[in-house]
Amino acid sequence: MSVLTPPDVGDRLPGPGRGPLLRILPAGRYAGRSRVLVERSAMVSRRVWLTIVSGFFEPLFFLLALGQGLGAMVGGSLTGPDGTELTYAAFIAPGLLAASAMNGAVYDSTFNIFFKFRYAKLYDAMLATPLGPVDIAVGEIAWALIRGGLYAAGFLSVMLALGLITSAWAILALPAALLVAFAFAAVGMAATTYMRSWQDFDLVQLVVLPMFLFSTTFFPLSVYPRPVQIVVECLPLYHAIELMRGLTSGAVGFGLLGHLAYFLVMAAIGVVVASRRLATLLLR
């Protein structure tokens, strides 16, 4: 059978001049051209620029409304990660940053990917070119990260302007937001490959919304009884919020490395599952 290699496969075979990733991965799965997917996404987004821009305003509305109004209801301040008092707006801002990284990554990697995969048949068309499933996975995730990075940078600038950042460590909140978004996008994409119809996306809502509401975005962990605290401490968004809150308030310690490790593991699992599933679904 190996004699019957289609002529175009020669293009995809790893040659000596290409990088190690090209030699490790099975032939035909990666052509090293995921940047063309990013280019396509950028072109498409020019037509829906309002939708893209509006993503920046969502956490901002939450911050302006709840930071002001709810803050007054709880007496103005809450206890931050290292025991110091934070104003309520400074308390929820890093939480909203983490939550918007999660929301953006999850919706992009579930709804959008599912539409392109199932209805637009975009990936089938791409696979008819030298692109492989790994190019697709890397390209789509890279675009999601570029978008997420712009939102995070914008939101951090607003926090700075409103005086909600009290530490220079906050500059690291940007790469941290990207890692969080990457991990959520990878897991979201892996989950999408198991979706059967739009009805299954209610399950995505059912995971994301409670996580947004209960993972200490709007109140400290201490409001829960201990058993509930343990459950909340297992949730990924909790770790993202702890990471952001530590960085923007300057409560930096070795504990933050633990949160970081959580997302590295989550991202690795997501990428492995997503690319395997995409390969089986697309290259049947």
Specify the residue, 157 or 205, whose C-beta has the smaller distance to other proteins.
Answer: 205
Least Å from the CB of residue 237 to other proteins: 13
Q: Which residues contact 191 (CB under 8 A, 6 or more apart)?
A: 110, 204
Specify the residue, 52 or 269, whose C-beta has the smaller distance to other proteins.
Answer: 52
Least Å from the CB of residue 87 to other proteins: 14
Beta strands in 9-84 (DSSP E): 77-79
**80: which 2 tokens?**
């931050």
Angle at which helix 173-192 crosses helix 236-249, to 10 degrees, equals 170
Least Å from the CB of residue 75 to other proteins: 8
Least Å from the CB of residue 115 to other proteins: 11
Least Å from the CB of residue 27 to other proteins: 40
- Residue 278 CA to residue 193 CA, distance in Å, equals 7
Specify the residue, 77 or 167, whose C-beta has the smaller distance to other proteins.
Answer: 77
Closest Cα to residue 88, out of 249, 201, 273?
249
Specify the residue, 34 or 103, whose C-beta has the smaller distance to other proteins.
Answer: 103
- Residue 142 CA to residue 185 CA, distance in Å, equals 10
Specify the residue, 28 or 71, whose C-beta has the smaller distance to other proteins.
Answer: 71
Least Å from the CB of residue 198 to other proteins: 9
- Residue 216 CA to residue 214 CA, distance in Å, equals 6
CA distances from residue 100 to 16, 146, 161 in whole angstroms, order as listed: 42, 14, 19
Specify the residue, 123 or 218, whose C-beta has the smaller distance to other proteins.
Answer: 218
Specify the residue, 53 or 268, whose C-beta has the smaller distance to other proteins.
Answer: 53
- Residue 73 CA to residue 200 CA, distance in Å, equals 38
Contact in structure between 98 and 244 (CB atoms under 8 Å): yes
**83: which 2 tokens?**
């025991």
Least Å from the CB of residue 153 to other proteins: 19
Q: Which residues bind other proteins (CB under 8 A)?
A: 47-48, 50-51, 54-55, 57-58, 61-62, 65-66, 68-70, 72-75, 78, 199, 202, 205-206, 209-210, 213-214, 218-219, 223-224
Specify the residue, 45 or 167, whose C-beta has the smaller distance to other proteins.
Answer: 45
Strands 85-87, 77-79: pairing kind: antiparallel
Least Å from the CB of residue 100 to other proteins: 12
- Residue 12 CA to residue 130 CA, distance in Å, equals 7
The C-alpha angle with vertex 192 and arms to 188 and 195, in degrees rounded to 5, equals 140
